[in-house]
Amino acid sequence: METIAVYWESRIKTYGFQRITDLALIEFSCPLSEIKLLGEILSQGDLKILRPKFIIAQESDHEISFIFCLPLEEGENFHASLEKTPSLTNHRYIYPVSIIFFYGPHFGDRYGIATATFSTLSKAGIKIIASGCSSASVFLVLAQDDIDKAEEVLAETFEVAK
């Protein structure tokens, strides 16, 4: 059942950096007891056609908080829809934000990828608005103005496979 993978790279290899710009970030929360209602809202009506570029959800204190990153126009409509839903609490609507994301071989199975990412951005003074790492991917939501600098410093830490 076990396979030992050895990666010995002077720079961690990635398949390349991709970015998505001109997004809106919407943060809202819902009591855990209302999660079924939220699911119904998302799966029915107009919202089901939304094309979110990134979603994370964190649970705490009997609530679940969601971050949605959507194209600006969709973000506006989504935000307006949420405001009409009494059981949801709107916390934040930020725009424009951008996403930079990257993948690499067995990123989900290897230690050190998160450190390389977060330490690089921290040393460069780049603030992360939100992040999600799952499977073999790293997604970073940043202020739009930070995206060039972020790619520049990440490209010094990670090696883009040719």
Partner 1 sequence: MKKLKIGGLKQSLELCQFDLRGPDSSEEIASKVSTLLLYQKINMEFLTYYPNRNSYHQLTFCISQDKFFTTSEILKKECSLPIGWEINSRGHVSIITIFPHQSAIKILGVIMVSWAAQSIPIYGIATSLSAISFVTDYHLIDKATEVIQDLFQLPEDHAPIKPEIRYYQSDIVKGD
Our CB check for partner 1 shows the closer of 56 and 153 to be 56
Query: Considering the complex, what minimum distance in angstroms separates the CB of residue 90 from partner 1?
Result: 11
Our CB check for partner 1 shows the closer of 21 and 134 to be 134
Our CB check for partner 1 shows the closer of 130 and 147 to be 130
Our CB check for partner 1 shows the closer of 86 and 111 to be 111
Query: Would you state the structure tokens that stand for residue 63, as one six-digit string?
Result: 């609530």
Query: Considering the complex, what minimum distance in angstroms separates the CB of residue 106 from partner 1?
Result: 6
Query: Considering the complex, what minimum distance in angstroms separates the CB of residue 129 from partner 1?
Result: 6
Measure the CA–CA gap between 1 and 160, rounded to whole angstroms: 31
H or E element, residue 71: strand 63-71
Our CB check for partner 1 shows the closer of 25 and 147 to be 25
Query: Considering the complex, what minimum distance in angstroms separates the CB of residue 24 from partner 1?
Result: 14
CB 30 within 8 A of CB 39: no
Name which of 93, 37, 100 is nearest 67 in CA terms. Answer: 93
Query: Considering the complex, what minimum distance in angstroms separates the CB of residue 48 from partner 1?
Result: 4
Strand 63-71 relative to strand 17-31: parallel, antiparallel, unpaired? antiparallel
Residues within the interface to partner 1 (CB under 8 A): 1-8, 27, 32, 35-36, 38-44, 47-52, 54-60, 64-67, 91-92, 101, 103, 106, 108-112, 114-115, 117-119, 121-122, 127-135, 137, 139
Burial 114-146 (b: 16+ CB within 10 A, else e): eebbeebbeeeebeebbbbbeebebbbbbeeeb
